Amino acid sequence: MANTIAENYLHQSTNKYKGILSWLLTTDHKKIGLLYFVSILFFFLVGAIIGLLMRLELIAPGRTIMGPQTYNTLFTLHGVIMIFLFIVPGLPAIFGNFFLPIQIGARDVAFPRLNLLSWYVYMVGAILALVSLFLPGGPIDTGWTFYIPYSIRTNTNVSLAIFAAFVLGFSSILTGINFITTVHRLRAPGMTFFKMPLFVWATYATAWIQIIATPVIGITILLVIIERAFGVGIFDPALGGDPILYQHLFWIYSHPAVYIMILPAMGVVSEIIPTFSRRTIFGYKAIAMSSLAIAFIGYLVWAHHMFTSGMSDTARWVFSLLTFIVALPSGVKIFNWVATMYKGSIDPQPPFLWVMSFIFLFSIGGLTGLVLGSLATDIHVHDTYFVVAHFHYVMFGGTGTIFFGALHYWFPKMFGKMYNIKLSKIAVALFFIGFNMLYFPKFILGYMGMPRRYYDYLPQFEPLQKVSTVGSWILVGTIFFIVGYFIHALIKGKKATSNPWGGVTLEWHIPSPPIQENFEVIPTITHKPYDFSQLKEMKNE
């Protein structure tokens, strides 16, 4: 594969422009993935700094650096930014965009222009969210769940902020439409459904949730805006409305959204483990099907967020039961990953270490989820730090960890540069320590009765709160350290080979970075996705 530099997609334009416009008007799925990457990373860092400030406020009881209203605003912003701007679009829009077409042997997604539009819609949503902070009325202070009736009564800029979430949902839908159509219509010859890499399966399942669930939050948000503007009464108890119905509608989207966040991460794990174990994945079909099963069952468990809201007892046990069922396909995945490593020839490179960290943190997050899913224990720890710890272990320990795992795995392919392996191994360790220091004390605090979202706390919680704050310094410090060595790698990194890890899925068959339309010739697929007997042939190429 000669003159790769000339054909490198980073230096080519899909339109007549050069320079910045060749990026802003590109229809290349890889460049759009990078546009998303830069914007999402930016908002992630903003969200992380907000989290850091909140932890700093909580280092001691009483007022430390900010007032209670600022604190309310900050935890709302932290939630909105991390969920709608980072973790929901994160893996699908960056790595899905970049690698889904490559992994199925396509030159681009099915609707390249729609793909670009989705990035613009994302940016519009993000800008609306930012604008809402500075308009008179003040930034939103409802918490990211926008619960009625407070979200109707507060005078802060709720309408604009949630409209931003509506717009962001639209972007998510466009991405989902693109991925499903791409998977159905653009697979290379011989790429049957059961030869697709598991990351594609996971992203495909995710895309379905994006399409089927997101509109429900859309209508919910519209109703809140209409309610604020016209006082129609749909959620207002004084006029016969039911606030619990709002909670139903909100969670009908927002619980499946949790699976929008975690499924692609599970897909990445299913890519990384076989590559670094030099062994085909154990139970390929089971993992593929469990993605669909999680997407489907995950759709049916939303009301476990509402066990103390005043639902009927019937609904409570039904949703508790369904919640336990969703643990089954997740367990299938974990056991298959571990079984893949058994008797493999393990090469503990950074991506693999991130995955190890993921399995540990995600298992804690998942198992504490069962505590919350059972009715009796949930009533004790509902709306405490226990919940906060649980979803940070799942979301940040799960998806956040894999965001970095995927970055370490695919960075050489995306940019054609290699980062410093030694530094990145240190980073995994620091991340792991900081993470557990920050969030594990919250399990204990929550169990002891510390409610979430509180500005102040009782003196006996102080030691653990301090540990947690120190953990946040390590964690955020590590994140900036990681960003630092990646920037260094971009500028001064060594050139990456086309297959630094010895992977066998399609992206490792093409040069790093890939050429404009990914493949000189569309390949015909004969191997199963994780058939490592290909490695020898690949070396001869």
Partner 1 sequence: MNNSHEVTLENHVHRDDVGARMGMWLFLFTEVLLFGGMFLVYAVYRFQNQEQFKLAALELNTGIGTLNTIILLTSSLTVALSIAAIQNKNKFLSIVFLNSTLLLALMFMVNKYFEWSTKFAHGIYPGSKELLEKPNGQILFYGLYYVMTGLHGLHVLIGMIILYIIKRQIKKDIITPDKYVKLENSGLYWHLVDLIWIFLFPLFYLIQ
Partner 2 sequence: MEHTKKHPGYTTYILVWLALLVFTSITVTIAGIDLGKYTLLIAMFIAAIKSALVINIFMHIKFEEKIFKVFIFLSGMTLLIIFILTFSDFLFR
Residues at the site binding partner 1, with contacts judged by CB under 8 A = 107-108, 110-111, 114, 173, 176-178, 180-181, 184-186, 189, 211-216, 218-220, 222-223, 226, 230-234, 239-242, 245, 248-249, 252, 509, 517, 521-524, 526-527, 537, 541
Residue 323: which of partner 2, partner 1, none does it interact with, CB under 5 to 8 A by kind? none
Select from 146, 369, 415 the least CA-distant residue to 254: 146
Residue number, 130 or 212, with CB nearest to partner 1:
212
> Of the two residues 133 and 538, which places its CB atom closer to partner 1 in the complex?
538
Minimum gap (Å) between residue 218 Cβ and partner 1: 6
Q: How far apart are CA 448 and CA 464, in angstroms?
A: 11
Least separation in angstroms between CB 377 and partner 2:
21
Using the minimum distance from each CB to partner 2, give the nearer residue, 155 or 314. Answer: 314
State which residue, 311 or 467, has the beta carbon closest to partner 2: 311
Picked from partner 2, partner 1, none, the partner binding residue 181 (CB below 5 to 8 A depending on kind) is partner 1
Smallest distance from the beta carbon of 248 to partner 2, in angstroms? 5
Nearer to partner 2, 130 or 318 (CB): 318
Given partner 1, partner 2, none, residue 69, with its beta carbon under 5 to 8 Å by kind, binds: none
Query: Cα–Cα distance between 506 and 528 in angstroms, integer?
Result: 11
470: how many CB neighbours lie within 10 A of its CB? 16
CB contact at 8 A, 427 and 482: yes
Residues ≥6 apart with Cβ < 8 Å to 39: 119, 122, 123, 126
- β-sheet bridge partners, residue 417: 495
Among partner 2, partner 1, none, residue 20 binds (CB under 5-8 Å by kind): none
* Partner that binds at residue 219, options partner 1, partner 2, none, CB closer than 5 to 8 Å by kind: partner 1
Q: Which residue's CB is nearer to partner 2, number 86 or number 319?
A: 319
Which residues form the interface with partner 2 (CB under 8 A)? 184, 212, 216, 244, 248, 252, 299-300, 303, 311-315, 318-319
- Cβ proximity to partner 2: between 310 and 331 the closer is 310
Min CB(323)–partner 2 separation in Å: 12
Name the DSSP letter for residue 8. Answer: B
The residue (of 181 and 377) whose beta carbon lies closer to partner 2 is 181
∠ Cα 23 24 29 (to 5°): 60
* Residue 383 vs residues 65, 78, 260, 300: alpha-carbon distances, Å: 24, 17, 23, 21
Give whichever of 134 and 230 is closer to partner 1, judged by the CB atom.
Answer: 230
Q: Evaluate whether 105 touches 188 at the Cβ level (below 8 Å).
A: yes
In the list partner 1, partner 2, none, the entry touching 458 (Cβ below 5 to 8 angstroms by class) is none
Tell which residue, 176, 145, 133, has the closest CA to residue 264. 176
Nearest approach, Cβ of residue 289 and partner 2 (Å)? 15
> Residue 10 CB, nearest distance to partner 1 (Å)?
20
- The tokens of 200 are what? 């594609």
Q: Could you tell me which residues come within 8 angstroms of residue 197 by beta carbon, excluding any fewer than 6 positions away?
A: 103, 270, 271, 505, 506, 529, 530
Our CB check for partner 1 shows the closer of 185 and 492 to be 185
Least Å distance between CB 205 and partner 2? Answer: 12
Select 133 or 292, whichever has its Cβ closest to partner 2: 292
Could you count the other beta carbons within 10 Å of the beta carbon of residue 26?
Answer: 23
Binder of residue 41, out of partner 1, partner 2, none (CB less than 5 to 8 A by kind)? none
Any bridge partners for residue 418, and if so which? 494
Least distance from partner 1 to the Cβ atom of residue 253, Å:
9
Contacts of 127 by beta carbon, 8 Å cutoff, 6+ apart: none
Give least dist CB 319 to partner 2, A.
8
Q: Which does 56 bind (CB under 5 to 8 A by kind): partner 1, partner 2, none?
A: none
Minimum CB distance to partner 1 smaller for 14 or for 73: 14
Q: Which does 303 bind (CB under 5 to 8 A by kind): partner 1, partner 2, none?
A: partner 2
Q: If contact means CB under 5 to 8 A according to the sort of partner, which of partner 1, partner 2, none does residue 241 touch?
A: partner 1
Name which of partner 2, partner 1, none residue 523 binds, using a CB cut-off of 5 to 8 Å depending on partner kind: partner 1
Please report how close the Cβ of residue 278 comes to partner 2 at its closest, in angstroms: 36
Three-state helix/strand/coil letters over 119-168: HHHHHHHHHHHHHHHHCCCCCCCCCCCCCCCHHHHCCCCHHHHHHHHHHH
Q: Which among 93, 140, 150, 142 has a CA at the least distance from the CA of 119?
A: 93
Q: Please report the sign of the dihedral spanned by the C-alpha atoms of residue 196, residue 197, residue 200, residue 204.
A: positive
Tell whether the torsion through CA atoms of 329, 331, 334 and 336 is positive or negative.
negative
Residue 176 binds which entry of partner 1, partner 2, none, CB below 5-8 Å type-dependent: partner 1
DSSP 354-401: HHHHHHHHHHHHHHHHHHHHSHHHHHHHTTBHHHHHHHHHHIIIIIIH
Give the span between the Cα atoms of 178 and 326, in whole angstroms. Answer: 27
CB count within 10 Å of CB 56 equals: 15
**Cα–Cα dist 75/50, whole Å:** 8
**Pair of tokens at residue 231:** 């006082």
Q: How far is the CB of 189 from partner 1 (least distance, A)?
A: 6
Closest distance to partner 1 from the beta carbon of 101 (Å): 12
Helix (H) or strand (E) segment spanning residue 418:
strand 417-418
